[in-house]
Chain A
Amino acid sequence: MERSDFLARVETAQASAILPDHPPDDPGQWVPELPEVDLVTRFIEMAEKMAAEIHTVPVDDVISEVIDRYAIDNYISWDADRIDGLDELPDGPRRIHTETPRGVDGRAEHNAAYMDCQLGITGAEAAFAETGTIVVRSGPGQPRMASLVPLVHVAVLPRERIFRSASHWAADPSARMAEGSNVVFITGPSKTADIESIVTLGVHGPKHLHIVIV
Chain B
Amino acid sequence: MTPVTFRERSTRELGTEKVVNIGKATRRKTRDRISASAAYPPMESMRDRAREIRLHTLANLSDYLAQFADSVERAGGHVYFAADADEANRYVSQVAADRGVRSVVKSKSMVTEEIELNHHLESHGLDVVETDLGEFIVQISGDRPVHIISPVMHKDRYEVAELFADVLDMDYSNDPVDLNAAARQHLRSIFLGADMGISGVNFGVADTGTISTVTNEGNARLTTTAPRIHVAIMGMERLVPNAGDLTVMLEVLARSGTGQALTVYTNLITGPRAYDEQDGPDELHVVILDNGRSEALASSSAEILACIRCGACLNVCPVFREAGGHAYGSVYPGPIGAVLTPALFGHDEWGDLPFASSLCGACKDACPIRIDIPSLLLEQRTESMSKGGGDFAWLGPGLAAYRRIATNPVLWRGFLVAGGVFGKATGEWITRLPFQAGNWTTTRDLPAPADQSFHSWWKEHRG
**Chain A residues with a Cβ under 8 A of chain B:** 1-3, 6-14, 16-21, 23-27, 29-35, 46, 50, 98-100, 102-104, 107-108, 111-112, 114-115, 128, 130-133, 138-145, 148-149, 165-167, 169-171, 175, 177-198, 200, 202-206
Residue B302 CB within 8 A of the other chain: yes
Known: A104-B100, A185-B265, A204-B187. A20 touches B295 (CB 8 A): no
Cβ 8 A contact of B298, one of A17, A31, A144, A206: A17
Contact residues in B for A165 (Cβ distance below 8 Å): 247, 251
Are A186 and B290 interface neighbours, CB within 8 A?
no
Known: A6-B290, A19-B55. A170 touches B81 (CB 8 A): no
Residue B449 CB within 8 A of the other chain: no
> In whole Å, how far is A176's beta carbon from the nearest beta carbon of chain B?
9
Docked CA distance A200–B302 (Å): 39
Are B81 and A3 interface neighbours, CB within 8 A?
yes
Could you list 18 A-B pairs, sorted by A, with CB under 8 Å? A8-B62, A10-B236, A13-B297, A17-B298, A18-B303, A25-B56, A32-B42, A32-B46, A166-B250, A179-B270, A181-B271, A181-B280, A182-B225, A185-B266, A190-B216, A195-B133, A196-B25, A204-B187
Known: A16-B298, A167-B244, A187-B262. A115 touches B189 (CB 8 A): yes
Stretch binding the partner chain, chosen from B204-212, B354-362, B421-429: B204-212
* Contact code string B200-229 (vs A, CB < 8 Å = 1, else 0): 000001001110000011110110111010
Known: A14-B59, A148-B221, A177-B243. A103 touches B270 (CB 8 A): no
Docked CA distance A31–B243 (Å): 12
Known: A107-B228, A204-B184, A204-B187. A186 touches B302 (CB 8 A): no
Q: Which interface class (under 10, 10 to 19, 20 to 34, 35 or more) fits B?
A: 35 or more
> In whole Å, how far is A2's beta carbon from the nearest beta carbon of chain B?
7
Contact residues in B for A12 (Cβ distance below 8 Å): 294, 298
Are A104 and B58 interface neighbours, CB within 8 A?
no
CB nearest neighbor in A for B69: A3
Docked CA distance A26–B53 (Å): 9
Docked CA distance A60–B171 (Å): 40
Are A182 and B267 interface neighbours, CB within 8 A?
yes
Contact residues in B for A182 (Cβ distance below 8 Å): 224-225, 267-270, 280
Known: A138-B280, A182-B267. A187 touches B62 (CB 8 A): no
Q: In chain B, residues 135-174, which have Cβ atoms closer than 8 Å to a Cβ of chain A?
A: 137, 150-152, 155-157, 160
